[in-house]
Homo-oligomer: A and B are copies of this chain.
């Protein structure tokens, strides 16, 4: 243990207290995110998707031809993260990537028929996960709203 008598008691105690509270806060978020990812993993394995890939597919299932930039905005991710992820989805035949003829700086990402069909396979993922989460539904909605307001 690190409990030595400090030369400046109150300042040291303040430090300890500040770092402890902070820890509880960022720890909870960090751990929850990791745990949820782990919870999804076995469900998504059946679909051949990782967790971030699943999120990208969710976005595409809502509106399919999207530019990389629009996807990045929806997912809050940089192109340096998305480009390799999309290439892996393309390698699996789930999406197609092609330059926008109207503006060749843009790359348009579109679901293939395979990618569209995968939505049916993914249909039961949410409820399966909710079972594993084992949390009242209303709490989930509440939690979601609070998370949305976090660090905008």
Interface residues of A (CB under 8 A from B): 1-2, 14-15, 18-36, 38-40, 51-52, 55, 58-59, 61-64, 75-77, 111, 116, 119-120, 122-127, 129, 132-133, 135, 139-140, 142-144, 146-152
* 15 A-B contacts (beta carbon < 8 Å): A1-B64, A2-B61, A2-B63, A18-B124, A19-B61, A19-B119, A19-B123, A22-B129, A24-B144, A26-B40, A26-B55, A27-B55, A35-B150, A36-B150, A143-B146
- A144 to B28 CA separation, bound complex (whole angstroms): 6
Residues of B within 8 A of A21 (CB): 126
Known: A29-B33, A76-B34. A22 touches B125 (CB 8 A): yes
Give the secondary structure class of A's interface.
helix
Chain B residue with Cβ nearest A21? B126
Copies of this chain assembled into the complex: 2
Contact A58 B22 (CB under 8 A): yes
Chain B CB within 10 Å, residue with most, of A21, A25, A62, A123:
A25
